[in-house]
Structure 1
Amino acid sequence: MWGDMSFFDYPTGGERVGSEEEEQYFLADRIEDDWALLLDHSRRRRFRAGEPVIEPNDAERAFYLVIEGTLEAVGQEGRRGRTRPLRTFASGALIGELSFFDGRPLGVLVRAVTDGEVVRVGVEELDEVARLRPELARAILFDLGRIVAGRLRHAQSSAKASLV
């Protein structure tokens, strides 16, 4: 029925979808109208330096996009509960994409280093975007997958390097 046509315009064979630097950027190629629709169907949250933004046991099917400010993920080490920084997230960073897919807690505290703002996009919000603009929702899902894949590849490379 479809012959040589594909329902979606997927990258072929060995094409790279983006460079390693680009793997961290969410929806980098989208137009202003797409961003406006997504932001209209998300929840904005302001935060102050030192505040927790995502608790370790928060279980929700949502991802966060840092709009302004800096956040850090911190893990506890040892029985005394000392924390150590694991990763810093600046404006444009994506947080919680795995939780969006599986609904499991992030497992680490994400707290504000500076004052700023995030937007939260849950499954319900994405469903509404899909109803209004299915192509944008598809692009969001593919971009989330691309970012997860990039982070997994980075983790695999780090693990291999530690074995050498």
Structure 2
Amino acid sequence: MSTGRLSGAAEGLPSDAQKCLEDLHIFNAEELAALLPYLGERKIAAGETLWHEGQAGSYLSLILSGHLEAKKDTEFPGKQVVVAVFGPGAVVGELSFLDQSPRAVSVVAMEDARLAVIGRDEFGKLLADFPEVGMKLYRAILLALASRLKKSYERLAAIF
């Protein structure tokens, strides 16, 4: 998994990162204990690009701290528009993770950020080993997608 400064799944997450995951209240203690070995950690500095639009996407991230902005290229070369801002608890990178398409947007750290990262291979192992936990993660991904789609509808309606 090409994710930059990443702590491998075998190493797990540092205890303070585990605490951040607990504070998000997505998984209960037992589910979190099952999930942790499959996650790595990524730290990115303010202004650093997590990925560029068009790059291959083999992992998704859960924001533990900090804020990221998603930018979409426009028809004008070198010009981008900010299409979303994500904070702690948000899942990012789910589109290309699920359908194996290139990244739809570029993602840049607005401030120093910490991410819990899971690659496609690790996710497959999680689903095989702990299907209930894997399905709960799938559900979190789908809820994030549904919420973003609803917001897109609202933005489009506001234009007209």
Contact kept, 8 Å, 2:43 with 2:113, in 1: the verdict is yes
The one-letter amino acid paired with 1:62 is Y
Deviates most, 35-44 or 47-56: 35-44
Q: Of residues 138, 143, 148 in structure 1, which corresponds to 2:140?
A: 143
Q: How many residues align?
A: 137
1:121-160 equivalences in 2 (<5 Å) = 121-160=118-157
TM-score by length of 2: 0.73
Which has a greater percent of helix? 2
Structure 2 unaligned segments of length 5 or more: list them: 1-23
Number of the residue aligned with 1:91? 88
- C-alpha RMSD of the superposition: 2.1
Question: What are the superposed Cα offsets for residues 13-62 of structure 1, whole Å, 9 maximum, x if unpaired?
Answer: xxxxxxxxxxxxxx844202322332320221111111111221221242
The one-letter amino acid paired with 2:62 is L
The one-letter amino acid paired with 2:146 is A
The one-letter amino acid paired with 1:98 is L
Is 2:76 the partner of 1:100? no
Contact kept, 8 Å, 1:129 with 1:137, in 2: the verdict is yes
Contact kept, 8 Å, 1:61 with 1:102, in 2: the verdict is no
SS in structure 1 of the partner of residue 60 of structure 2: strand
Instruction: Specify the structure having the higher radius of gyration (Cα).
Output: 1
Contact kept, 8 Å, 1:71 with 1:111, in 2: the verdict is yes
Task: Report runs of 4+ in structure 1 exceeding 6 Å deviation.
Answer: none
TM-score by length of 1: 0.72
Number of the residue aligned with 2:67? 70
Between the aligned residues of both structures, percent identity stands at 27
Number of the residue aligned with 1:55? 52
Contact kept, 8 Å, 2:53 with 2:73, in 1: the verdict is no
